[in-house]
């Protein structure tokens, strides 16, 4: 038997494709896999977070609040002690909304008013709901304000903030265990957490609209005027251009779609969509200017 030192055939280690094309193909595949993994983690994290008892959510926000206050930092979770006529009025209306939505203890809302001239309102962890002067001053009547409150309260009731944060944390965890620089992970985390804690998915927005409309109907006996809130956004968008609008609008479904959806929900439940709207208190605009 004779052994030979045979040369391997030419080209067995190189695919027939151009190396750059191969690199791009693999990069795209890796990106798609990462995105899918991220989506999956986001869903799973959001679902798991939704199972956390509300008391635990409260405990965490109180803890964060204490830490921020001790560090001398502004905290979104500090309970605003205010007895201005505006806050009293908002809380009275808010109590009606809580009752109409059948929100139960320990789930309660902490309303915050900011006199910043931005067209925004949002709900965050622990039942903290923020209302801005820039939006409140444009409301045409109380029914639209009730719809706004009911929409934000619905985010709290449906645990949207916590589910968003849970999804973001799961993605951050996934990013942390993958090889890569911590700077990238840090940036990814702040991106996902800021995206998910305050900007809800379109599905969440639609759910909050539908749930909120129930409160408007329960309080006034009809749903008329609820859609004026979205007419206001539409007018605002037209006059200011999309870039000038703040957080409330960025992931919200298109105003027209929302108005149509509200009409459908009213019809499905057999609610009256016509009726007289209730005016805001005469001093409402003065209150907005006076309160801090
Ligand atoms: Zn919303």
Share of the chain above pLDDT 70, in %: 85
Q: What is the pLDDT of residue 268?
A: 95
Q: Is the pLDDT of residue 6 over 90?
A: no
Mean pLDDT value across residues 154-179? 80
Q: What is the pLDDT of residue 179?
A: 64
Mean pLDDT value across residues 11-16? 70
Does 213 reside within a domain? yes
- Residues 6 or more apart whose CB falls under 8 angstroms from that of 152 comprise 121, 122, 123, 129, 208
Q: What is the CA(86)–ligand 1 centre distance, in A? A: 22
Higher-confidence residue of 42 and 61: namely 61
Q: What is the pLDDT of residue 195?
A: 42
Q: Is the pLDDT of residue 46 over 90?
A: no
Q: Is the pLDDT of residue 266 over 60?
A: yes
Does 10 reside within a domain? no
Q: What is the CA(259)–ligand 1 centre distance, in A? A: 14
Q: Which residues sit with Cβ closer than 5 angstroms to ligand 1, an ion?
A: 205
Q: What is the pLDDT of residue 192?
A: 43
Q: What is the CA(189)–ligand 1 centre distance, in A? A: 22
Does 189 reside within a domain? yes
- Average per-residue pLDDT for the chain: 84
Q: What is the pLDDT of residue 60?
A: 86
Mean pLDDT value across residues 85-103? 96
Cα dihedral sign, 244-245-251-252? negative
Q: Is the pLDDT of residue 3 over 90?
A: no
Does 47 reside within a domain? yes
pLDDT one-digit tens code per residue, 197-238: 456 788 889 999 999 999 999 999 999 999 999 999 888 877
Q: What is the pLDDT of residue 183?
A: 47
Mapping DSSP onto H, E and C, the string for 68-137 reads HHHCCCCCCCCCCCCCCHHHHHHHHHHHHHHHHCCCCCCCCCEEEEECCCCCCEEEEHHHEEEEEHHHHC
Q: Is the pLDDT of residue 193 over 50?
A: no
Q: What is the CA(139)–ligand 1 centre distance, in A? A: 16
Q: 126, 184, 115, 119: which is closest to 155 by C-alpha? A: 126
Least confident of 170-174, 251-255, 286-290: 251-255
Considering its fold, how many domains does the chain have in total?
1
CA atoms within 13 A on the CB side of 262: 31
Least confident of 26-30, 55-59, 76-80: 76-80
**Residue 11 parent element (H or E):** none
> In the numeric block, which tokens belong to residue 13?
């280690």
* 161: DSSP letter: H
Q: Is the pLDDT of residue 188 over 70?
A: no
Q: What is the CA(26)–ligand 1 centre distance, in A? A: 39
Does 193 reside within a domain? yes
Q: What is the CA(200)–ligand 1 centre distance, in A? A: 7
* 252: DSSP letter: S
**Residue 222 parent element (H or E):** none
Q: What is the CA(133)–ligand 1 centre distance, in A? A: 17
Q: What is the CA(33)–ligand 1 centre distance, in A? A: 30
Does 13 reside within a domain? no
Distance CA 187, CA 70 (A): 26
Q: 132, 125, 31: which is closest to 90 by C-alpha? A: 132
Higher-confidence residue of 254 and 67: namely 67
Q: What is the pLDDT of residue 191?
A: 45
Q: What is the pLDDT of residue 140?
A: 96
> In this structure, are residues 48 and 55 in contact, taking their beta carbons and an 8 Å threshold?
no
Does 44 reside within a domain? yes
Does 8 reside within a domain? no
Q: Which domain holds residue 206?
A: 20-290
- Residues 6 or more apart whose CB falls under 8 angstroms from that of 87 comprise 80, 111, 113, 291
Higher-confidence residue of 191 and 107: namely 107
């Amino acid at each position: 038997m004779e052994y030979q030192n045979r040369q391997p055939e030419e080209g067995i280690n190189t695919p027939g494709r151009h190396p750059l094309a191969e690199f791009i193909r693999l990069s795209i595949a890796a990106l798609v896999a990462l995105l899918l993994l991220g989506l999956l983690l986001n869903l799973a994290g959001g679902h798991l977070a939704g199972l956390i008892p509300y008391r635990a959510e409260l405990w965490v926000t109180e803890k964060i609040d204490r830490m921020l206050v001790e560090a001398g930092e502004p905290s979104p979770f500090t309970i605003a002690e205010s007895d201005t006529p505006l806050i009293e009025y908002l809380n009275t209306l808010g109590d009606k909304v809580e009752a109409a939505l059948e929100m139960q203890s320990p789930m309660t809302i902490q309303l915050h008013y900011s006199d910043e001239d931005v067209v925004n309102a949002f709900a965050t962890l622990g039942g903290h709901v923020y209302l801005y002067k820039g939006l409140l001053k444009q409301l045409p009547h109380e029914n639209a304000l009730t719809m706004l409150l009911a929409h934000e309260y619905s985010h709290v009731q449906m645990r949207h903030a916590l589910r968003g944060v849970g999804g973001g944390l799961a993605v951050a965890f996934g990013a942390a265990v993958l090889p890569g620089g911590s700077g990238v992970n840090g940036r990814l985390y702040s991106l996902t957490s800021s995206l998910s804690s305050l900007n809800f998915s379109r599905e969440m927005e639609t759910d909050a609209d539908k749930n909120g409309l129930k409160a408007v109907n329960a309080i006034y006996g009809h749903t008329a005027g609820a859609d004026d809130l979205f007419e206001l956004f539409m007018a605002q968008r037209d006059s200011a251009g999309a870039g000038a609008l703040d957080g409330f609008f960025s992931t919200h479904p298109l105003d027209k779609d929302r108005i149509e959806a509200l009409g459908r929900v009213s019809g499905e439940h057999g609610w009256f969509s016509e009726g007289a709207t209730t005016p805001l208190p005469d001093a409402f605009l003065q209150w907005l200017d006076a309160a801090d």
